[in-house]
Amino acid sequence: MLEKFEKFQLVLLGLILACGLVFAVNAGTRNLSNDKITVTGSAFKNVKSDSARLEFEINTRRPDRQQAFNAVKNQLPVVKQYLQDKGFTDIEIPASGGYNSYKYTANGNMTNDIAYYNLSQPVIVKSNDVEKIKELSADIQNLLDKGIDINIISTEYFYSKLSDLKVELLQDATKDAKERAAAMLKATNNHPGKIQSVQMGVFQITPVDSTNVSDMGINDTSTIEKKVTAVANVVFRIK
């Protein structure tokens, strides 16, 4: 009787161990299927700007406002002719701005007497020929020889197909993330499965040879040749 009871205990123990093993395997499989991996992928492409904008200003200083306006009025035709001779037709003349400078006493105190009036007249030139704008930015100071005080405010270069390129780069960045995930999981005999979520990072538009990055993104307009970089943070299910 005792021998039968011991055999029953052994059988029962075996069943318990078997059930425990099955439960452990199922639990392990269930946890594995719920595992995820987060990978950052990136992609970039070099592009050449297809439009440009040069802004400069004509500066003058005269005893009063009227004389300053008259001086700029006489200089504008010379500036326009210079630009037209260079082949530019898209020329904008925004509103001018100016301010008074006041006289000072011998001990350095400012008075209410006007010493002269300063006037700045902006001029904006646009073109799809980016090389021509680049040449203009280097040559325009020659207007000084004509007695015209010129100050360059900015020279900017733009790429018009940036929106389409961003979509393309995001796709490539996601593919790159999957390849990285596959490489990371290879040692564990696992593979990246379905995408659980994708978070787009900021775009970095920089000079081609630049390694600068910013959490807020970079949008360089100072160079003709640019590098556009996209980043995607992707969560994959592990299978």
Q: What is the pLDDT of residues 15-30, one digit of tens each?
A: 444 444 344 334 333 3
Q: Are 157 and 169 within 8 A, CB to CB?
A: no
Instruction: State the residue for tokens 């100050």.
Output: 151
Query: 53-157: what fold?
Result: Alpha-Beta Plaits (3.30.70)
Q: Is 35-48+161-238 in CATH node 1.10.8.100?
A: no
Q: What is the pLDDT of residues 195-230, one digit of tens each?
A: 999 999 999 999 999 989 999 999 999 999 999 999
Give the model's pLDDT for residue 187. Answer: 87
Q: What is the pLDDT of residues 50-98, one digit of tens each?
A: 999 999 999 999 999 999 999 999 999 999 999 999 999 999 999 999 9
Give the model's pLDDT for residue 63. Answer: 95
Q: How far from 61 is each of 66, 72, 80, 140, CA to CA, in Å?
A: 11, 10, 21, 20
Provide φ and ψ at 141, rounded to 5°: -65, -15
Give the model's pLDDT for residue 34. Answer: 59
Q: Write out the residue limits of the CATH 3.30.70.2970 domain(s) in the chain.
A: 53-157
Q: Write out the residue limits of the CATH 3.30.110.170 domain(s) in the chain.
A: 35-48+161-238
**Looking at the whole model, is its pTM more than 0.85?**
no
Q: How big is the chain by its Cα radius of gyration, in Å?
A: 35
Lowest mean pLDDT across 8-12, 109-113, 120-124, 218-222: 8-12
Return the higher-pLDDT residue of 128 and 35. 128
